[in-house]
Amino acid sequence: MSGNRFMALMVKRREYVNVIQERQKPPLKKLKLVKKATPQSIGHTLALISYLENCKKSNEALSILLRISDNISFEAADFPDILKRLSDYFKNEKESAVRVKILSLLGEIGEYLHADKFLIIDEIILLLKGDTSHKVIAQGINTILKFGERITDTSNNTFNQKMIELAKTYLKDVNHTVKCKCLEIIGAYSPISESKESEEILFLVSSYFNNDDARVRSQAFSTIVTLHDRGFKLNPNIYTDVCNCLKDDYEIVRSVVLKLLWVLGQAYPNHQMFVSGSDHEIRLIDDAFGKICSGVTDLSMQVRTLSAELLGSMTAVSPKFLNQTLDKKLMSNMRRKRTAHELAWENVTSGEWASGKKWADDAPKEVLDAESINLINSGACGAFVHGLEDEYLEVRSAAVESLCQLSLNNSHFANLSLDFMVDMFNDEIEDVRLKAIDSLRLISKHIVLRDDQVETILGALEDFSQEVREGLHRMLASCRMLTTCGLKMCVEKLLDNLKKYPNDKRSTYKCLQKVGSQHAELVLPLVPQFLNIHPFFHIPEPDVENPQYICILILIFNAAENLPTIIPLLESHTKRHYQYLRDTMPSFVPVLTLTDTIANTVAQPMSVQASMEFLNNVIYNIDITEATFSVYCAILQTARDHLNRLSLIDSGVAGTAQFTSYFIGAQLIYFRIMENGYWANPTSLASHQAHNLTTNIQNLLEHCLKLQFFFVGLSAEDKCAVKQLHMKALALNLIYIVKGSNSSALAPCHNFLNMVEVLQMELHKNGIEPECFTKDVFKELSSLEEPKPGMVSRVLIPILAEARIGRIPRPNVKIRMSSAEILEPTGQTDTSLKFTAGLIMSVPFEAELKHLLDPSRIRIKVKYPDQKTQVILPRPAHLKPLNPEGEDSNKPKMRESNIRLLTDLLISHQVWSEACNIDINIALAIPEADIGRRRNIDNPHTLLDLCKPVKISVSPKPIKKNILS
């Protein structure tokens, strides 16, 4: 009884707008929840502040201020009094900690709408004038700075000038915190204009570059960077002063200096400047590049990482400086480093050998003076070499990224960096190896792999990580090889690796598919070797189910697509195997015209335009049909079959055809429910009739949920059409529960009313005319004072009895349907998986999921023979992008996800008498809150299957008892 009273109170406040008028739609009534203030909370802050006057100790005042901060509530009329009392107490308080808390409290009060921020700022400025505490001044300036961030009107020159004057006043303070806050204000509120005042501000900030405190120096450089980000035009003459701070003792200063050097280099790349100690001129970005390169050898790991990151975006640097980053010849105090071969050859040709009697008589003779080298800054020498060899993975990772970014737009540099990138495949950290592999894939358009480089790359295929191996497959698929030997080496290594890691089968297929299409000329001379074609003897026919043989066929057939001269080399059984692979693996094998084979007639694929015309004709014929009930249902069933067939023929309109098919299927179920009229009085039905009615209602609800959550790219009209159909299904469900069930109808009634409210708002928002059924529901429910389940069901029965079926939505070519394909396990093995009962067995699982709205809804469902179901939530780390190489980058971006699920299923059960099958499936979990239901503790989610289950045979064995026992 209490539940009914609660439901009545909840739904009593619902108001439904009558939207039957056609000429002018009434405005939608919006519920505005207003929290009434209690008498105790009104003036609560002002009452607590009044207690401050009676405090005799600072600790008491501090505790009251903390209570005020925890619960601030006041009215607009109380604000001036609050500000005055806090200011008066601030002036009389001697403890600096209490004054700091008062300033902090003023900042919290200023966040409320009733507060005048400008008035608080003026009051804080007056309070700070007579204060000598550094902590109080710093807190006051910090509070003002926070207020300034929340003020949206940045064009207030008076306010900005006031802030600048305040900062200049307190810059003379000896405390570093005060200085830093003042510099922050200057960076945030300085006028952006080319005037004398701007030059004075720049000069003022630059004067703190050599401050005694490292925190002040760091903030001064950060202020310059902030000014540039706001559009302030910097003077490139400060470059020399900035460079002098690169050798600062503190890493916080060196980090900001590097950022400022990068800013100056990007802002004035072609500005000419003199090299220190010479008359040679150099571009500013080249010199800045060399200075930033020197940060790669810094003592601090953070500075080295930042330097390596900044290098990647400096694409305007000269080629000679860029190439020098991969060469260490000028390092070691400007002494040219020679190879061992050069040193030995010089000793042989000189005819003189070191006697050992004279100290350093074999020292190199070409020692150069560091001051005399002015062509290339020594910092650029071997910068990336040092970064790639750093002991910290953060530095190595940043160096790999920067090397890739610089190589993308420079083919010469890409070829120079190839060897260094390949060496990173052997890094000890998996993330660094993956980044190096992906970087080499990105720059593959600029490079051609030599045989020695291919050999080094193939060595990384032994990696235990499947992610690294698949990354190598993608990289090899995008690269080009130089010789036939390199290609043969690559194919043989991939086949050997496939024996060791059978789970890499599909990845290897994709790799060899692209390798064959890109290297048709290199594949041609290797065809006899790969297929074991002998000029005189007949070789036994290979097994077409062998993965290694399939790899060879995929390679050759894809090469034959671009080079038809390969086809005459193929034997008859190879051509027969082509027909088999073309039927079983059409995504890996192209369409070829082979002789001596049975020509299969391949239908010309339909164009998207022709398919859309067919869809429109089907829906139009359904709309204009006027026939009896049975004939109309037969027409709908025929149309559904045609649409299902069309979705298999033309992938371009498959989503639209499937959506329309599901919609027609829901209508057919609705017709079956409404056919005999049993739904209005289910108490008179027999048990089997009641069971059929319940099943049909549940199927209708499931169809509506699939229409809502299985499809992406729906228009507003499509969503509203689905929700109106869903509302009919919920109405039927509510009537059945009220009339023919003993269970509570509160939750179904709440669900129905919630759907009505949501649908009403969406129809009004999108300006869509509702159906007749929806109009009648809105009208009748708006007149109910207390929409209880019984009253609602009595209102719905006549509306449903007279309601007509809604129109089918127009075809929308943007619609895509969510789908899943389980790749592993295949369910085709005859052997049973055996494990000890009660323990856990791991089963490798791989699946591809496409067109998902929310990947977090994915669940793996395992159903055992005893009808027990296990629902598994995959880890986010096991969800990978399906196309990491960006194959579909030219297609329009939609709010959907194509992912690959790669994980291990943990299966456990008790002893079975014989081996049985378990069903593994992928489902979409729909929380009850998403469909308007109340949360059910036993079943908080509704699971909708995305694909057909895969069956695997499992045989739990009993635990073997010890013989001695």
Are 103 and 139 a contacting pair, CB within 8 Å? Answer: yes
Spatial distance between the Cα atoms of 561 and 307, rounded to a whole number of angstroms? 47
- Residue 556's pLDDT is 94
Confidence check: pLDDT of 431 > 80: yes
DSSP 504: G
Buried-state track 442-462, b at ≥16 Cβ within 10 A, e below 16: bbbebbebebebbbbbbebbe
Other CB atoms within 10 Å distance of the CB of residue 865:
13
Three-state DSSP class for residue 640: helix
pLDDT tens per residue, range 885-897: 544 444 444 456 8
Both structure tokens of 671: 């017709």
Average pLDDT over residues 902-915: 88
Question: With bands split at pLDDT 50, 70 and 90, how would you rate the model's confidence at 198?
Answer: confident
| Residue the block writes with tokens 């204060």 | 131
Residue 853 dihedral angles phi and psi, to the nearest 5°: -80, -40
DSSP 937: S
pLDDT tens per residue, range 707-740: 989 898 888 898 898 888 988 888 888 888 888 7
Average pLDDT over residues 235-246: 86
Among 154-163, 220-229, 833-842, name the one with the lowest average pLDDT.
Answer: 154-163
Spatial distance between the Cα atoms of 296 and 684, rounded to a whole number of angstroms? 85
Residue type, 589: V
Question: With bands split at pLDDT 50, 70 and 90, how would you rate the model's confidence at 380?
Answer: low
Spatial distance between the Cα atoms of 808 and 634, rounded to a whole number of angstroms? 16
Average pLDDT over residues 165-179: 87
Check the CA dihedral 499-500-504-508 and report its sign.
negative
Task: Name the range with the highest mean pLDDT among 67-71, 117-121, 740-744, 923-927.
Answer: 923-927
List Cβ neighbours of 654 (8 Å cut-off, separation of 6 or more). Answer: 646, 647, 648, 817
Spatial distance between the Cα atoms of 490 and 484, rounded to a whole number of angstroms? 10
Among 58-67, 134-143, 353-362, name the one with the lowest average pLDDT.
Answer: 353-362
Which three-class secondary structure string do you get for 124-141? HHHHHHCCCCHHHHHHHH
Question: With bands split at pLDDT 50, 70 and 90, how would you rate the model's confidence at 108?
Answer: confident
Average pLDDT over residues 942-946: 88
- Helix and strand element counts for the chain (H, E): 39, 14
Both structure tokens of 658: 């499937």
Say if strands 858-863 and 869-872 run parallel, antiparallel, or are unpaired: antiparallel
Query: For residue 174, what are the CA distances in angstroms to 132, 143, 167, 777, 855?
Result: 11, 20, 13, 75, 56
Residue 865: is the preceding peptide bond cis (ω within 30°)? no
Confidence check: pLDDT of 34 > 70: no
Both structure tokens of 610: 């022709």
Spatial distance between the Cα atoms of 414 and 430, rounded to a whole number of angstroms? 23
Both structure tokens of 882: 């399906």
Write down the H helix ranges in 325-429.
Answer: 331-334, 340-350, 383-388, 393-408, 411-416, 418-423
- Residue 109's pLDDT is 80
Average pLDDT over residues 569-591: 89
Residue type, 395: V
Spatial distance between the Cα atoms of 619 and 810, rounded to a whole number of angstroms? 8
List Cβ neighbours of 944 (8 Å cut-off, separation of 6 or more). Answer: 702, 705, 706, 709, 710, 923, 924, 926
Which of 868 and 534 is assigned the larger pLDDT? 868
Query: For residue 89, what are the CA distances in angstroms to 74, 84, 85?
Result: 19, 9, 6
Say if strands 897-907 and 941-945 run parallel, antiparallel, or are unpaired: unpaired
Among 611, 389, 510, 334, CA closest to 885: 510
Confidence check: pLDDT of 104 > 80: yes
Confidence check: pLDDT of 550 > 90: yes
- Residue 154's pLDDT is 52
Check the CA dihedral 460-462-466-470 and report its sign.
positive
Q: pTM of the predicted model, to two decimals? A: 0.73
Spatial distance between the Cα atoms of 286 and 269, rounded to a whole number of angstroms? 8
Average pLDDT over residues 794-801: 86
What's the burial of 333, exposed, middle or buried (CB within 10 Å: 0-12/13-18/19+)? exposed
Spatial distance between the Cα atoms of 890 and 32, rounded to a whole number of angstroms? 45
- Residue 895's pLDDT is 55
**End-to-end CA, the chain:** 62
Spatial distance between the Cα atoms of 265 and 245, rounded to a whole number of angstroms? 16
Among 7-21, 278-292, 363-377, 783-797, name the one with the lowest average pLDDT.
Answer: 7-21
Confidence check: pLDDT of 965 > 80: no
Distance of CA 415 to the CA centre of its chain: 32
Among 159-163, 273-277, 403-407, 429-433, name the one with the lowest average pLDDT.
Answer: 273-277
Question: With bands split at pLDDT 50, 70 and 90, how would you rate the model's confidence at 55?
Answer: confident
Which DSSP string corresponds to 429-495? Answer: SHHHHHHHHHHHHHTGGG--B-HHHHHHHHHGGG-S-HHHHHHHHHHHHH--BSSHHHHHHHHHHHH
Both structure tokens of 720: 């509203």
Both structure tokens of 674: 């409404």
- Residue 65's pLDDT is 82
Average pLDDT over residues 567-580: 89
- Indicate the helix (H) or strand (E) that contains 913: none
Percent of the chain with pLDDT over 70: 83
Residue type, 898: N
Mean pLDDT of the chain: 80
Spatial distance between the Cα atoms of 579 and 582, rounded to a whole number of angstroms? 5
Spatial distance between the Cα atoms of 844 and 471, rounded to a whole number of angstroms? 19
DSSP 899: E
Say if strands 950-957 and 833-836 run parallel, antiparallel, or are unpaired: parallel
Query: For residue 844, what are the CA distances in angstroms to 62, 707, 829?
Result: 62, 31, 14
Three-state DSSP class for residue 845: strand
Among 665, 775, 774, 787, CA closest to 728: 774
Which of 600 and 177 is assigned the larger pLDDT? 177
Are 262 and 292 a contacting pair, CB within 8 Å? Answer: yes
List Cβ neighbours of 470 (8 Å cut-off, separation of 6 or more). Answer: 504, 507
Largest CA distance in the chain: 120
